[in-house]
Amino acid sequence: MSVPDLDPQISDVLRKAEESGAAPIESLTPEENRANYERIAKEQFGPVDEVFAVENRDADGVPVRIYRPIETSEPGRALVYFHGGGYVIGSIETHDGITRALAKRAETVVVSVDYRLAPEHPYPAALDDCWTATKWVIANAAGLGIDHARIGVGGDSVGGCLAAIVARRGRDAGTPFAVQLLLYPTTTSHADALSYSRYQLGYGLTRDAMAWYWKQYIGESDGRTNPDISPAALQDLRRLPRAIVITAEADVLRDEADSYAQRLSLASIETERYEYEGMIHGFLRMAGVVARSDKALDEISETLKTFLDKTRRDDQAVTLDHEDALSGKMPAPAEAEAEPG
């Protein structure tokens, strides 16, 4: 098995983490892990992008933070963003750097969702909050200055998992999104991909840490066959939003994300998939200490902007009334068809 040629600055990040003597995630309490994550997030991201306005709002009981890149009276692009952190750690604060960067560089309104965390709030709390907040954005698009035809969903790590699930719910509800931005996402609770063996130790996120995260969220249950836990369990991927799938070379989640991207392409979903060589899981949060991470945010933002503008503006693009979206009503599902291939 070959050893990846890591970016020198990524190697430095890993070296400093090892020298710090930090205890493994699975040996700490959720509170201890949250405190560590908040500290590291501030240290590694560095100076954040300036945007025109930042506003905290209540989205039907779910706290959200809205980032506006510029002052304008025209309806703009929007991305509903779900942070990573294994369903246990992370917040709109820890991901403030990423969401500001996407807003500023993609010239897009970003709505960052502060969903409830496990184990205090296990499955399906995080998903329920993300879906509620997304429906709120859809229902209030006009008042928020958002073009309802150019709304995307996105997130990193488990946030990418939540984004994939919300994207499917939108499809099933008759409200397709313009794009799903999946940043090194997890797509299944089952750790059987080869990348789990290759990068299980020494590259930041470990196999044992992922197992601990999943246990906090779903307990002892096996979520691999539940599409509301594991997007990879979904059989029919047709009619899902266009997808941008970002992976890191030395990441235990790389292969499952890559497999999901391939399946999207086979289902005739326009998909852009980028693997960042020499990078590890969570590298986008390291823009202050890893130059390649900052450059990657530029590249991802440009693709996001392009995909959000590739929108269908006919009457079929949004068939679910905004009031129905807010209330959670859905049309009867169409008869399932076998996925091609």
Q: Which positions are catalytic?
A: 157, 251, 281
Question: What is the torsional sign of CA 280, 285, 291, 293?
Answer: positive
Cα(271)–Cα(273) distance, rounded to whole angstroms? 6
**Whole-Å CA distances, 238 to 140, 241, 243, 270, 319:** 27, 9, 12, 11, 17
Strands 53-59 and 62-68: antiparallel
- Per DSSP, the three-state class of 76 is strand
Residue 322, Cβ density class (10 Å: 0-12 exposed, 13-18 middle, ≥19 buried): middle
**Interatomic CA distance for residues 108 and 151, integer angstroms:** 10
CA distances from 225 to 128, 232, 297 (A): 19, 8, 33
> Do the beta carbons of residue 142 and residue 75 sit within 8 Å?
yes
- Contact residues for 76 (Cβ-Cβ < 8 A; gap 6+): 107, 108, 109, 145, 146, 147, 150
**Which two tokens mark 15?**
């070296």
d(CA 73, CA 338): 45
